[in-house]
Chain A
Amino acid sequence: MDTLLVNEFRSIVGDAGLVNAPEQLRTYECDGLTLFRVVPELVLLPASGEEMQAIVKLCHRERIPFVARGSGTGLSGGALPVKGGVVIGVSRMNRILDIDLENARVVVEPGVTNSAITAAVSGRGFFYAPDPSSQIVCTVAGNVAENSGGAHCFKYGVTTTYILGLEVVLSDGSLVCLGGKTMDYPGYDLVGSFVGSEGTLGIVTKITLRIIKKPECTQTLMAAFNSSSEAGAAVSSIIASGMFPAAMEIMDKLALEAAEAAVHPNYPNCQALLLVELDGSVREVELLMEKVGPICKECGAWELRLAKSEAERMAVWKGRKAAFAAVGRISPNYLVQDGVIPRTALPRVLGEIDRLSAEAGLRVANVFHAGDGNLHPLVLYDRRIAGQEQRAMVLAEDILRLCVEAGGSITGEHGIGEEKKHFMPVMFSEADLDAMQRLRSAFDPDGLCNPTKMFPGTDSTYQKPIAYQPHPIELAGLAQRY
């Protein structure tokens, strides 16, 4: 980038807010989806809404495309830089601005992490409900961009349910307030339209969100099954009985193996584990837990374990939330997908995934939010073996196609981003996509705001990661890569 321009950016954010050195720029070349990498021209880390506005105004003036980035934990390449563009990171804007417990509202800057919000209010008996598994790292602005879910969204809903107001910098640098502290602002639901827009409509500088009261009592039950179908059937039975658990998660044998190796949650050794979390009043949870056990047994559960203490519960969830990272113990590489199917289609689709993975000769570990049919098949492969990465990508896409055929969606939480934009026509017609583009052009007529994401046909050139080169000591068998 032209030195004069870099200096102009520098005059806005200072040295602390500018990243220019080549090796440092490399650290922003991808997000949680490491498959695609683009080195940005410049990375800007504003410390305030005013700096953010000034940066975007400059980008607008010079017609520089920009991509916003939270913590970079996204799994669909939403924060992948655009060639010739800049990355605007929000991590320095990380203050909690206001906590209003009586009204259950919190106002935060975009770079505040998801779990920091809960941490700030849990002492007084509140929590911020959407809990993506990356919550200790991911930012709430990232949650807004993706409309993040998490294990507890079955009962408590996803991010969009909890966002009341947004202060947004549009691509021309202007600032606009959407919604606010009270409910039902007259006019179009621009907050609801913005949440989940994957950073293509503007950059958030302030978020007003709702927190809710922690339930009086929470208990988590683990049920061991001989197959994922049986576990799935138990989930359907529990729901059919009229109960509304806070969360229901299933992990299959491979995923359990990985989790055990990584964080030792001491799960039962089974083909499929069901986690059911019930919350509510003490009395209600007691009574409902008495019913859940027999339902699981009826569906084939051969062991039930109840996590009662907070410490036990935390250990159970740690294993589940670490699942993606944990597969690193059992495979050098993996691709994770995020398809959704109607719950009733679960047994059939799981069977199909088994068949497809056998055909492709690749293992698939399954972790899923069973309550709402959101699957996370982890396709395991070794990039060093010729053709495996390609086969893994094809298998991942076949699984997505399967989800759409079953009446579901190609993404439940991770977003379209870079990864699935060419898949949009599988779910939406041209007219549907055109309608979405109308919304986009109203917010960003100049096409500067994360312009290559979400929609097919948008130009994207990216480098494939360089293949790993073993060190001579490794080749000589004297050292091992761990």
Chain B
Amino acid sequence: MNERQYPIEIAWTDLEAIVGAEYIRPTTSSDMIDGLQPAKVIAPGTAQEVAKVLQYCSSAGLAVVPRGSGSKLGLGNRPQKADLVLSTERLNRVVEHVWGDMTAVVEAGCTIENLQSAIRPHGQRLAADPLWPERCTVGGLLATAESGTFRLRYGAVRDLVLGVEVALPDGNLIKAGGKVVKNVAGYDLTKLVIGSLGTLGVITRAAFRLHPMPVATATYSARVGSATEASRLVLAILGSFMVYTGLQVRASRADQFTVDVRFEGIPESLNDQYEKLVKIASEAKVAESPGDVWKARQQLFSNAGDSVICKCSVLPKQIGALCDGVFQQAKAAEVAATLVAQGTGLAEVRLDAGAPALMKVVNGLRAGVDRLDGTLVVEQCPPAIKESLDVWGTLKDAVPLMQQIKAKFDPAGTLNPGRFVGAI
């Protein structure tokens, strides 16, 4: 599978001069990306070193894969080439936490859990719950723009980041945004790099806006017997006066759906919310649930080596239709399906079966989602499936513009070539 020959001209000594020989190591099979094994892992110690490494690799024609912990390395198309893994493992500090301003500046290699632990003593949190927070790094969260269960109330990752520092392939280290919540000076390049999958630059640090930790939390769940009922309940909650911070639908069969709602606030107001929920749920019984139901997304990804996991985006009103579509297609192809959908209309679907059946269902689902004017991205799948489809979906008309932007920031195609939308 891995046919790339590493040219002998790669002067590792030049890179050793930048980061120090002890911070370049050979790769093992655990460093593979979709069956490609890069030559080395390099771990710069400062943002300036990251920039210098990128500059060297650009001029030497090397392909670089930036990596935090690698928890989401499976995202994207198969790389066209991958010579070097650039690891942010040594850039792992919480640089500052100005709790009075509710902001924190964090290096890209810091894990989300380490960040949360550092700011918890002042009763604050980052309102994001990515997969495996003990592994997921700041850089990885930003580069993938992962969307979790707090999205509905607190916004996407892009709404939580005030500014970034980015190392560009030409060796420049730039800043975008700042450290304050209101800031419209210049272009919002922070938004450009968030979700860019490391194809424009390597994020070296980020400034976040934080939120107060809630005084109390409660999760309630209601079980219903059909997608239609689940949809009715979700829409009723969305249209109500309840102040929820999470709303999710879980199902692994067509006749059993669980709707979870999370409330946060002062204890007196939580009771008030519960009573409102019971009224709206009418016949469906509402019971309190443990907080770990919000880990359902993460459970989808455990032992998922041969599975396909798709992220579907539809309108909230279409969640019911999406659920029906998933289970119908899965049943027809004899594929096992599990689904976790958020009230935002973003749903993750796991499919388990042999490759041909999986392809059929994914293509069928994608066609269905396209008809709803939504999108379907394959977040995780066996490498072989990547040969037969574009994980990002049907190309929309903004792709040429995106390719132009890539050409301006990374003309040599140094960063993650081929992995992103439109084979960027």
A residues contacting B by CB (< 8 A) are: 100-105, 125, 146-147, 149, 153-154, 157-158, 160-161, 170, 176-178, 180-190, 192-193, 195-197, 213, 215-216, 236, 239-240, 242-244, 280-281, 283-284, 287-288, 340-344, 369, 372-374, 407-416, 420, 424, 427-429, 431-436, 438-443, 454
| A188 pairs with B195, CB closer than 8 A | yes
| B187 pairs with A102, CB closer than 8 A | no
| A432 pairs with B155, CB closer than 8 A | no
B148 CB to nearest A CB, Å: 12
Report if A435-B189 is in contact (Cβ < 8 Å); known contacts: A105-B315, A182-B314, A242-B215. yes
| B404 pairs with A283, CB closer than 8 A | no
| B172 pairs with A157, CB closer than 8 A | no
Known: A182-B374, A343-B100. 19 other contacts (CB 8 A): A104-B238, A149-B182, A157-B155, A170-B401, A184-B375, A188-B402, A190-B401, A192-B188, A213-B240, A239-B102, A242-B214, A244-B212, A342-B100, A409-B185, A416-B185, A428-B175, A428-B186, A438-B408, A442-B405
Top 8 nearest A-B pairs (CB, nearest first) are: A192-B191, A412-B182, A216-B241, A438-B408, A242-B212, A187-B421, A344-B100, A284-B269
CA A432 – CA B168 in complex, angstroms? 11
Interface string of B33-60 (1 = CB under 8 A from A): 0000000000000000000000000000
| A187 pairs with B422, CB closer than 8 A | yes
Interface residues of B in 162-201 (CB under 8 A from A): 166, 168, 172-176, 178-189, 191-192, 194-196, 200
CB pairs A–B below 8 angstroms (12 shown): A176-B398, A190-B398, A193-B192, A281-B241, A287-B266, A342-B101, A372-B182, A409-B182, A409-B185, A416-B184, A432-B175, A439-B408
| B174 pairs with A189, CB closer than 8 A | no
Cβ of B69 within 8 Å of any chain A Cβ, yes or no, is no
| B315 pairs with A182, CB closer than 8 A | yes
| B185 pairs with A410, CB closer than 8 A | yes
CA A219 – CA B109 in complex, angstroms? 43
Query: How many A-B contacts if CB must be within 8 Å?
Result: 251
Closest to A175 in B: B397
Task: Please give, as numbers and ranges, the residues of chain A lying within 8 Å of B420 by CB-CB distance.
Answer: 187
CA A441 – CA B396 in complex, angstroms? 21
| A407 pairs with B189, CB closer than 8 A | no
Closest to A440 in B: B187
| B187 pairs with A103, CB closer than 8 A | no
Task: Please give, as numbers and ranges, the residues of chain B lying within 8 Å of A344 by CB-CB distance.
Answer: 98, 100-101
B206 CB to nearest A CB, Å: 15
B residues contacting A by CB (< 8 A) are: 98, 100-103, 123, 145, 147, 155-156, 158-159, 166, 168, 172-176, 178-189, 191-192, 194-196, 200, 211-215, 235, 238-243, 265-266, 268-269, 272-273, 311, 313-317, 344-346, 373-375, 377, 392-393, 396-399, 401-402, 404-405, 407-409, 420-422
CA A288 – CA B215 in complex, angstroms? 13
CA A14 – CA B284 in complex, angstroms? 60
Task: Please give, as numbers and ranges, the residues of chain A lying within 8 Å of B213 by CB-CB distance.
Answer: 242
Task: Please give, as numbers and ranges, the residues of chain A lying within 8 Å of B241 by CB-CB distance.
Answer: 213, 215-216, 281
Closest to A420 in B: B185
| A189 pairs with B396, CB closer than 8 A | no
CA A100 – CA B367 in complex, angstroms? 24
Report if A153-B188 is in contact (Cβ < 8 Å); known contacts: A242-B123, A283-B269, A431-B173. no
CA A438 – CA B407 in complex, angstroms? 9
CA A28 – CA B373 in complex, angstroms? 40
A415 CB to nearest B CB, Å: 6
**Contact with B239, one of A102, A154, A343 (Cβ below 8 angstroms):** A102
B85 CB to nearest A CB, Å: 23
| B180 pairs with A341, CB closer than 8 A | yes
| B238 pairs with A283, CB closer than 8 A | no
CA A161 – CA B392 in complex, angstroms? 23
Closest to B188 in A: A196
Report if A182-B373 is in contact (Cβ < 8 Å); known contacts: A147-B184, A407-B180. yes
CA A383 – CA B175 in complex, angstroms? 39
| A185 pairs with B396, CB closer than 8 A | yes
Task: Please give, as numbers and ranges, the residues of chain B lying within 8 Å of A190 by CB-CB distance.
Answer: 398, 401-402
Task: Please give, as numbers and ranges, the residues of chain A lying within 8 Å of B346 by CB-CB distance.
Answer: 183-184
A129 CB to nearest B CB, Å: 12
| A287 pairs with B268, CB closer than 8 A | yes
Task: Please give, as numbers and ranges, the residues of chain A lying within 8 Å of B266 by CB-CB distance.
Answer: 284, 287-288
Report if A372-B181 is in contact (Cβ < 8 Å); known contacts: A183-B147, A187-B421, A193-B191. yes
CA A415 – CA B184 in complex, angstroms? 6
Report if A442-B155 is in contact (Cβ < 8 Å); known contacts: A192-B192, A242-B215, A427-B185. no
| B188 pairs with A193, CB closer than 8 A | yes
Closest to A410 in B: B185
Task: Please give, as numbers and ranges, the residues of chain A lying within 8 Å of B187 by CB-CB distance.
Answer: 193, 196-197, 436, 439-440
Report if A236-B183 is in contact (Cβ < 8 Å); known contacts: A157-B155, A284-B266. no
| B408 pairs with A373, CB closer than 8 A | no
| A187 pairs with B182, CB closer than 8 A | no
| A413 pairs with B186, CB closer than 8 A | no
**Contact with B189, one of A216, A411, A429, A436 (Cβ below 8 angstroms):** A436
| A424 pairs with B396, CB closer than 8 A | no
B340 CB to nearest A CB, Å: 15
Task: Please give, as numbers and ranges, the residues of chain B lying within 8 Å of A157 by CB-CB distance.
Answer: 155, 159
CA A413 – CA B242 in complex, angstroms? 31
| A441 pairs with B184, CB closer than 8 A | no
Task: Please give, as numbers and ranges, the residues of chain B lying within 8 Å of A408 by CB-CB distance.
Answer: 178-180
A8 CB to nearest B CB, Å: 28
A204 CB to nearest B CB, Å: 14
Task: Please give, as numbers and ranges, the residues of chain B lying within 8 Å of A161 by CB-CB distance.
Answer: 155, 159
Task: Please give, as numbers and ranges, the residues of chain B lying within 8 Å of A280 by CB-CB distance.
Answer: 243, 265, 269
B333 CB to nearest A CB, Å: 24
| B182 pairs with A287, CB closer than 8 A | no
**Contact with B377, one of A180, A186, A216, A288 (Cβ below 8 angstroms):** A186
Task: Please give, as numbers and ranges, the residues of chain B lying within 8 Å of A192 by CB-CB distance.
Answer: 158, 188, 191-192, 194
A131 CB to nearest B CB, Å: 14
Closest to A216 in B: B241
Task: Please give, as numbers and ranges, the residues of chain B lying within 8 Å of A180 by CB-CB distance.
Answer: 373, 396
Task: Please give, as numbers and ranges, the residues of chain A lying within 8 Å of B373 by CB-CB distance.
Answer: 180-182
Report if A186-B375 is in contact (Cβ < 8 Å); known contacts: A215-B241, A429-B174. yes
Task: Please give, as numbers and ranges, the residues of chain A lying within 8 Å of B168 by CB-CB distance.
Answer: 435
A262 CB to nearest B CB, Å: 26
| B401 pairs with A413, CB closer than 8 A | no
Task: Please give, as numbers and ranges, the residues of chain A lying within 8 Å of B211 by CB-CB distance.
Answer: 244
CA A202 – CA B219 in complex, angstroms? 45
Closest to A406 in B: B180
Task: Please give, as numbers and ranges, the residues of chain A lying within 8 Å of B344 by CB-CB distance.
Answer: 183
Closest to B409 in A: A438
CA A186 – CA B158 in complex, angstroms? 14
Closest to A158 in B: B182
A469 CB to nearest B CB, Å: 37
Closest to B342 in A: A183
Report if A281-B195 is in contact (Cβ < 8 Å); known contacts: A372-B181, A424-B185, A427-B185. no
A105 CB to nearest B CB, Å: 7
Report if A176-B402 is in contact (Cβ < 8 Å); known contacts: A284-B243, A343-B101. no
Closest to A188 in B: B402
| B315 pairs with A103, CB closer than 8 A | yes
CA A102 – CA B174 in complex, angstroms? 42
